[in-house]
Amino acid sequence: MPRKIILDVDTGSDDAVAIMSAILSPDVQLEALCSVAGNKEIEYTTENTLRVVQLLKADVPVYRGAKYPLVKFLCPDRLPEDEHLEVVHDGKVVQMHSDYLDIPEAKIKEQPISAAEFYVKYLREAKEPVTLVAVGPLTNLALAFRIDPTIVKNIEEIVIMGGGYNITNCTPTAEFNIWYDPEAAEIVINSGAKVTLVPLDATHAACITLDDCKRFRALNTVAGKFIAELCEQRIIVHNATQPLDVPDAAAVHDALCIAYLIDPTVLKDVRHVHCNVGFRDFCEGQTILDMRYFTEPANCWFAFDGDRFKFADILCDLAAKSEPLAE
Ligand code: RIB
Ligand code: CA
């Protein structure tokens, strides 16, 4: 039986790969997509999400989510994100996430209720537990838990792309999704659901290479071509700003969460730990793990490593299921 999931995205380049993976996988039943502000403003992340659904001709409802984090922007003393370096390649500016994905403008429309309202309604009425996969800031889920904490009874697991132990990205202590809405992350991690964190330690280890992109392109499918384009774009930016141990490679963070649902062994060194989220000063957005012998009771599963070979094979297998490219 395919696993029912709801995917929460701030579509962006790696979110798009996660959405395509979820749509194409026979092991996953994508019940809905919820957009949230993060990589880009909500107008862009919602439009980009609709564009990916349209590209794969999928029948998946999209719910527009939160325009702002819970409280962060109310506090003038919050740390600003480090400036993004401008990357120029072959005379063109290349971003990790462009404003709009380079696929046709969406003609399909979002649903009439907000993501938080949808979560509460869906989870109150669910006849069986569902897995929530959050690959952007956790604002929507936190709002839903604040409206009705009992929805946790119908959540099988919350898989979060977020956090970092030895690796960070947007500040010296934080990963972007957690940093963008730290209070939301703390609420969700302590919601009482089974929480699995897929942090930068895992996503950087399970990186995708230019050779993998050649495999995706050789499939001659719609998803194979688009996934290769998105990963090649990310490799250019990684090489310039966050070079990985593996040359000419990129983390495709969000799609690793879907790969985990298909084959959990794609995550390695997964430990049950206690995590709190830093709210202030230099630890704002930090996933603070208690690694002492006598620790706080564990509240999440944290993957300290990932398998790049298994991940590339999973993406290749999924991309092959996509529609052939028009001649
Ligand atoms: O830090 C990486 C995460 O931030 C990914 O989910 C990426 O899409 C951005 O949202
Ligand atoms: Ca994301």
| Three-state SS at 118 | helix
* 306 has a pLDDT exceeding 90: yes
Looking at the CA of residue 161, tell me the nearest atom of ligand 1. 6
Residue positions annotated with a catalytic role: 253
pLDDT tops 90 at residue 185: yes
Please check the confidence at residue 327 and state whether its pLDDT lies above 80.
no
Greater pLDDT, 86 or 317: 317
Considering every ligand atom shown, identify the ligand nearest to the alpha carbon of residue 171 and give its number. 1
Cβ of residue 39 lying under 6 Å from some atom of ligand 1: yes
Predicted pLDDT at 86: 82
User: Could you give the CA distance from residue 235 to residue 10 in angstroms, rounded to a whole number?
Assistant: 20
174 Cβ contact partners less than 8 Å away, ≥ 6 residues apart: 164, 168, 278, 283, 284, 285, 286, 287
136 CB within 6 A, ligand 1:
yes
Q: What is the mean pLDDT of residues 192-197?
A: 98
DSSP code at position 163: -
Residues around ion ligand 2, judged by CB within 5 A, are: 10, 12, 15, 135-136, 254
Q: 64-92 pLDDT, tens per residue?
A: 999 999 999 888 888 667 677 789 999 99
Report helix, strand or coil for 128.
coil
| Ligand 1 atom at shortest distance from the alpha carbon of 177 | 4
Q: How far is the CA of 254 from the centre of ligand 1 (A)?
A: 7
The finding on whether 173 has its CB within 6 A of some atom of ligand 1 is no
Per-residue pLDDT for 215 more than 90?
Answer: yes
Q: Which of 77-81, 167-171, 226-230, 235-239 has the lowest mean pLDDT?
A: 77-81
Residues of the chain with pLDDT > 70, as a percent, come to 99
Least confident of 75-84, 144-153, 205-214, 292-301: 75-84
Mean pLDDT of all residues belonging to the chain: 96
Enumerate the β-bridge partners of residue 201.
Answer: none
pLDDT tens profile 248-263: 999 999 999 999 999 9
Query: If pLDDT is split at 50, 70 and 90, which confidence band does 217 have?
Result: very high
Angle at CA of residue 86, ends 244 and 19, nearest 5°: 60
Name which residue sits closest to atom 10 of ligand 1, judged by CA: 136
pLDDT on residue 324: 97
| Closest residue CA from atom 2 of ligand 1 | 176
Under the banding of pLDDT at 50, 70 and 90, the label for residue 272 is very high
Does residue 175 line the site of ligand 1, with CB under 6 A?
Answer: yes
**In sequence order, which residues have a C-beta less than 8 Å from that of residue 43 and are 6 or more positions away?**
none
Residue ranges of domains in the chain, CATH in brackets: 3-69+84-319 (3.90.245.10)
88: Cα within 13 Å, side-chain hemisphere:
2
Ligand nearest to the CA of 181: 1
Assess whether pLDDT exceeds 90 at residue 147. Answer: yes
Q: Which two tokens stand for residue 290?
A: 């208690």
Q: What is the pLDDT of residue 236?
A: 97
> Ligand 1 pocket, 135 CB below 6 A?
yes
Q: Is residue 132's pLDDT more than 80?
A: yes
* Residue 137 alpha carbon, nearest atom of ligand 1: 10
Which tokens in the block code for residue 151?
């929805």
From the CB of 254, is ligand 1 less than 6 Å away? yes
Kindly give the number of the ligand 1 atom that is closest to the alpha carbon of 251. Answer: 2
Q: pLDDT band at residue 287, thresholds of 50, 70 and 90?
A: very high
* Range from 73-82, 228-237, 290-299 that averages highest in pLDDT: 228-237
How far, in Å, from the CA of 101 to the mean position of ligand 1? Answer: 15
Q: Give the DSSP H or E segment for 68.
A: none
Q: Average of pLDDT values for 116-132? A: 98
